[in-house]
Amino acid sequence: SEHPLAQAVTSYLQDMVAGEITHFETLPGRGVTACIDGAKYYIGNSRLMAHMQLDIPVEMQKETAQWECDAYTVVWVAATDRVLAALAIADALKPSSVQAVEAMKQAGLQVYMLTGDSKSTARVMAQKVGIENIEAEVLPEQKAHYIKTLQQQGEVVAMIGDGINDSAALAQADVSIAMGTGSDIAMDVAAMTIVSGDLSRVEQAIHIS
């Protein structure tokens, strides 16, 4: 997967010896699954664990709940019959993001955050950048539906995204903007790509246009 969280996990574990990986499959909005030496494994969010109807030990629930309150994204690892591990990943906030959001608001734009992350993690990150409108734990198609709802209310919507899970929303938006540090599919769908991946460039692009 090209997702930044996936890159963080594989980078951290790159020296770990694994068996042969086969049948790799992306599960949109949930995670991935693959077979290693014939055994099937899953890695993804809590929605994936719930879909598999796996019970998460109470101690793990407490620990991961605290991680989310501290703005970590939790990634779960499981076999077909049990949860094996949980990883906490800090999604570092770019220094320019706060100024970028403020500049958009000063320009008269309403800023929304649509994310597949948990509500507690999304709330903390949104507070840091000054975003009041938050929709968390949303699937890719729900992002697109949310934009369609805004459009039906008469709004002209610009979508900024960088991942596979943003592609449907980018296609739905009136103005589609991809971040150049994200996935190829986001850049393929979007009408505009911010090459640097710096959110502050979005306002500059609006002024140039």
pLDDT of residue 198: 87
User: How do residues 72-102 score in pLDDT, each as one tens digit?
Assistant: 889 999 999 999 999 999 877 888 899 999 9
188: burial class by Cβ within 10 Å (0-12, 13-18, 19+)?
exposed
Which residues contact residue 183 at a Cβ distance below 8 angstroms, ignoring those fewer than 6 apart?
2, 3, 162, 163, 164
Mean pLDDT, residues 34-53 taken together: 92
Q: Give the largest CA-CA distance in the chain.
A: 55
Which of residues 149 and 1 earns the better pLDDT score? 149
Q: Is the pLDDT of residue 121 over 90?
A: no
Contacts 24+ apart (CB under 8 A), 82-87: 82/54, 83/49, 83/54, 83/55, 83/56, 83/57, 84/41, 86/60, 87/9
pLDDT of residue 3: 74
- Model confidence at 1, pLDDT cuts 50, 70, 90, reads low
Tokens 């030990």 correspond to what residue? 57
CB-based contact 168:143 (threshold 8 Å) = yes
Instruction: Give the H/E segment covering residue 69.
Output: helix 58-69
CB-based contact 77:87 (threshold 8 Å) = yes
pLDDT of residue 135: 94
pLDDT of residue 71: 84
> Among the ranges 45-54, 145-154, 174-183, which has the highest mean pLDDT value?
145-154
pLDDT of residue 136: 93
Q: Is the pLDDT of residue 17 over 70?
A: no
DSSP-derived secondary structure letter, 166: G
- Write down the pTM of the prediction: 0.74
